Amino acid sequence: MKVTSADIVISAVKPEQYPNEPFPEFALAGRSNVGKSSFINKMINRKNLARTSSKPGKTQTLNFYIINDMLHFVDVPGYGYAKVSKTERAAWGKMIETYFTNRDQLKAALLIVDLRHPPTKDDIMMYGFFKHYDLPVIVVATKADKIPKGKWQKHLKVTRETLGMEKEDETIVFSGETGQGKDEAWGLLKKYM
Ligand SMILES: Nc1nc2c(ncn2[C@@H]2O[C@H](COP(=O)(O)OP(=O)(O)OP(=O)(O)O)[C@@H](O)[C@H]2O)c(=O)[nH]1
Ligand SMILES: [Mg+2]
C-alpha cells in the first residue's frame, strides 16, 4: 500500500479515550524491545513516528496511529521486561485485556516475535490469548536482518512449532531495518480491511 499520510491520533490508557472512527484497526503485541514500534515505522515509511528505543519499555500507552485516513495501527506496550513492578504488570494486563477483548474495530493482532530465538513463554501465552478470543493473529518474525537469509526458514519453523501455531495462521519474516516482508505484510492486512 502506498502510504500518503500517517499521524498519531491519541495515546490512550482507557476505552473512553479510544478513537470513535470505524476504521479497520491492527494492534501490535510482543516482548519489550522486540521491534513493535519499528514495525509500524517501517510499514508507514517514517523514521520515528512511533517512538523507538534501544532500551525496553519505551511504549507505555496504547498509541493510535491513523494511516491514509482509513486505518489505525495501535502500538502497545511490550511484555516480559523484568524490571517491572507487580503493580505495573497488573495495570498492563488490565489495559491489554480491556483493549483486545472489547474493540470492535480490531481486525487482527500482529504478534511480533524475534526470528533469531524461539518464542518465549510470554509469547506462547499471548498467542494462546488471541486464539482463546478468536482474534485473527498474524505472527511477524522480525530482526531477520540479524541472521543469514539461508537460516530464515529453519528459524521460522521453530517459531511456528514453539507457538503451536495453527495451519491457517500466517507468519511473515520481517526486518525493521531493511523493510524485508513489508509488502507481504501489507498484502495480508489488506485482506482484513
Ligand atoms: N537490526 C534490527 N534492529 C531492530 C529491528 N526492529 C527493531 N530493532 C531495534 O530494536 C530496538 C527496539 O525497537 P522498538 O521498535 O523500540 O521495540 P518495541 O517492541 O516497540 O519496544 P517497547 O516499546 O519497549 O515494547 C531498537 O533499538 C530498534 O532499532 C530489526 O528488524 N532489525
Ligand atoms: Mg515500542
The residue ranges of every structural domain in the chain are 6-190
The mean per-residue pLDDT over the stretch 131-154 comes to: 98
Position in ligand 1 atom list of the atom nearest CA 146: 1
Tens of pLDDT, residue by residue over 62-90, are 999 999 999 999 999 999 887 788 898 89
Under the banding of pLDDT at 50, 70 and 90, the label for residue 187 is: very high
Ligand 1 mean position to 36 CA, how many Å? 7
Ligand 2 ion: Cβ-proximal residues, 5 Å cutoff: 36-37, 58-59
Higher pLDDT, 34 or 60: 34
Ligand 1, CB cutoff 6 Å, lining residues? 30, 32-38, 52-54, 56-59, 77-78, 142-143, 145-146, 175-177
| pLDDT at site 173 | 98
Position in ligand 1 atom list of the atom nearest CA 60: 23
Ligand 2 mean position to 176 CA, how many Å? 12
Domain 6-190 indexed as CATH 2.60.40.10: no
Average pLDDT over all residues of the chain: 95
Secondary structure of 57-105 in HEC code, one letter for each residue: CCCCCEEEEEECCCEEEEECCCECCCCCCHHHHHHHHHHHHHHHHHCCC
Under the banding of pLDDT at 50, 70 and 90, the label for residue 156 is: very high
For the cut 80, the answer to whether the pLDDT of residue 181 exceeds it is yes
CB 118 within 8 Å of CB 37: no
Ligand 2 mean position to 28 CA, how many Å? 9
Tens of pLDDT, residue by residue over 101-114, are 999 999 999 999 99
Q: How many CB atoms lie within 10 A of CB 41?
A: 22
Q: Whose CA is nearest to atom 26 of ligand 1?
A: 54
Tens of pLDDT, residue by residue over 22-35, are 999 999 999 999 99
CA distance 177 to 69: 26
Q: What is the percentage of the chain residues whose pLDDT exceeds 70?
A: 100
